[in-house]
Chains A and B, each alone.
Chain A
Amino acid sequence: MGVSESEESSLLLDEKLLRFMEQLELLEEKRATFNSLIEQGWFSMSKARYTMGNKQVSALQYASEIEPLVCVQTRTLDNGEMEFTTERCTQTCSKESGKDQRAIEDIGPQEEGVRRRNRPKREIAESTSSDKAPAGKRDHNAQQDPLKWFGVLVPQSLKHAQSSFKQVIELSAEIAALQTAVLSARQELKHSLQNKHTPGERLSNSAGQGSRHNTSAESKQEEAEKQLSATDSQ
């Protein structure tokens, strides 16, 4: 009875580990895409500067006070499976009118990424401020595609830059969600490992046959712990 329980928990652990690894891989892929999109965006902006003139695509073109068009909303998922009390970003990357004051990146020249409104996704998430949001958004609606700040007839490269940065915004929400998922999976794994440890010890103490079983369990545990420490360093 004890043996099949520990087998079961090992299988569960394996599953969790695999899921964790998959999420990690996905995260790395997304990060790589994220980096290349950002590079692309900045480079397209340089091309636009080449065409339009250096001072035509610079800090002069945007006002010092701007309303964000895309904001990030966080919501605690109440999943029956995992009992976590910490708050984290949801997987359903819903963008709504919250308040987001970060996002002026200081990479290279002092420019900002372009932002846009994400109207269709509004229906998906329940948000507290949805009453205020439509009114406020309709005011801004008349205004600002940030592309217009640089003139009405802008070259294609600037439009490419805008679309790259739009994709970056989407991706960054996904990455944030994935990161928290990865962290929680890691926690899970740790917990499961610890839980597995105690039955394992009981086994070795009670039966004497445990040695081979123990070493195999321990080696698996060691691998899992190595993984955990690897994600720690990330």
Chain B
Amino acid sequence: MAACEELSFNVDHGYLEGLVRGMKAGILSQTDYHNLAQCDTLEDMKLHLQSTDYGKLLSSSEGDLTVSLLDSKLRENLVTEFSCLRSNALPPLSTFLDYISYSYMIDNVVMLITGALKNKDVSELLPRCHPLGAFDQMAAVGIARTPAELYSAILVDTPLGQFFQDAVSECSLDEMEAEILRNKLYKAYLQSFHSFCKSVGGATKDVMCPVLEFEADRRAFIITVNSFGTDLSSTDRSALYPSCGKLYPGGLKLLAQAEDHEQVKAVADCYPDYKMVFDDPEPGSDFKTLEDRFFEQEVKLNILAFLQQFHFGVFYSYIKLKEQESRNVVWIAECVTQRQKSKIHNYIPIFQGTS
């Protein structure tokens, strides 16, 4: 029977999909953003957030309300929701959700390493790590001196161990090495995630693979653009490009040779999806950074996940959309505190009109 998936999905995962769709309904709407943008202080924002699904998120906070605190609280909220989903998940959804958490683990590892380089105390760094990416051996990460040591002594037993094939090296860990390590781990992670989604098949594959391909291509572009003017050579750079995207292999080769923004734009012009991102903005509209435009595209792709049922993509998309929402709210808060109201509308609304 071809359509088996729909018949059996709800047995294991129906409750959680229902939960996610309910949570998705609580994502802030245009009106909410409009109200938040009208605020003059963070206290006003706190008041407005109380009428949304966030409820009493900020009212229990002691001390001054700062943007940093707001960000931490929003993150806590997301972590609670994710933990609720993860603790009730059965395989293969549990593996899928674990994959989502690995990207945060990679960020935490790099943060701990760079913190150790600056002689920061582990007790100072640990609370600032992303809770979604927590794992047992975190406290020991700062001790490693080379990626090889990091792998063999600390991370080999963690889920991140599987991503270390390319990243093991004997160079001592400094800022450049940490950055290279981050990108190599992320490359391996993305490729692994992509093949996992392919193996699950069905609607999950149809929804997740385009999203992950976009992610891979985005990383390739951003790495290229940000590496101009730094010490990262093109050969080093090309080792960091994930190969599970549309740009592989021709586009990636061209990107590796690009030396300035114009050449990158020329590469993007060959792909209709990315041509739009690199296009010059219409005159009169706000200047958007490259990253902003990529975020916009990402939101569009993630919204599509909710159009189909009985697949795991909704979980991934929900997490990513919630993250974008946190970014939006924090952006509005920064504009409010710095009194830069003109730029306040640079957030990316998630559901235009009714969701």
Q: How far, in Å, is B122 (CB) from chain A's closest CB? A: 12
Choose from B114, B130, B331, B338 the contact partner of A61 (Cβ within 8 Å).
Answer: B114
Contacts of A1 in B (CB 8 A): none
Q: Type the 1/0 row for B98-129, where 1 means its CB is closer than 8 Å to any CB of A.
A: 00000000010001001100111000110010
- A-side interface residues, number (CB < 8 Å): 30
What mask results when residues 174 to 196 of chain B are scored 1 for a CB within 8 Å of chain A, else 0? 01101100010000000000000
- The distance from the CB of A231 to the nearest CB of chain B, in whole angstroms, is 28
- A28-52 contact mask (Cβ, 8 Å, vs B): 1 or 0: 0000000000010011001101110
Inter-subunit contact B330/A50 (CB<8 Å): yes
Q: Are A54 and B179 in contact (CB under 8 A)?
A: no
Contacts of A60 in B (CB 8 A): 111, 115, 120, 124-125, 128
CB pair A156–B107 under 8 Å, yes or no, is no
Interface residues on B, range: 35 or more
CB of A157 within 8 A of CB of B289, answer: yes
Chain A residues in 8 Å Cβ range of B331: 46, 50
8 Å CB contact of A58 from B68, B114, B183, B230: B68
Q: How far is the CA of A232 from the CA of B107 in the complex (A)?
A: 54
Is the CB–CB distance between B338 and A63 below 8 Å? no
Q: Is the CB of A153 within 8 A of B124?
A: no
Partner of A153, one of B232, B289, B337: B232
- Which residues, 48 to 89 on A, are CB-close (under 8 Å) to B? 49-51, 53-56, 58, 60-64
Question: Which chain A residues lie closer than 8 Å to B130 at the CB level?
Answer: 55
Residues of A within 8 A of B179 (CB): 151-153
B291 & A53 in contact (Cβ 8 Å cutoff): no
A107-126 residues at the B interface, CB under 8 angstroms: 108-109
Cα of A51 to Cα of B115 in the assembled complex, Å: 20
When chains A and B are docked, how far (Å) is the Cα of A56 from the Cα of B232? Answer: 20
30 A-B pairs, CB-CB below 8 angstroms?
A39-B338, A42-B338, A43-B334, A43-B340, A46-B331, A46-B338, A50-B331, A51-B291, A54-B68, A54-B330, A55-B130, A56-B111, A58-B68, A60-B124, A60-B125, A63-B118, A63-B119, A109-B67, A109-B68, A151-B114, A152-B176, A152-B227, A152-B230, A152-B232, A153-B183, A153-B222, A153-B227, A154-B226, A156-B289, A157-B289
Interface residues of chain B, those whose CB is within 8 Å of chain A, are 66-68, 71, 107, 111, 114-115, 118-120, 124-125, 128, 130, 175-176, 178-179, 183, 222-223, 225-227, 229-232, 289-291, 327, 330-331, 334-335, 337-338, 340, 343
Residues of chain A at the chain B interface (Cβ within 8 Å): 39, 42-43, 46-47, 49-51, 53-56, 58, 60-64, 108-109, 148-149, 151-157, 159
Task: Given contacts A55-B128, A153-B227, A155-B291, list 9 more A-B pairs with CB under 8 A.
Answer: A46-B338, A53-B107, A58-B128, A60-B120, A60-B124, A62-B118, A63-B118, A154-B226, A157-B289
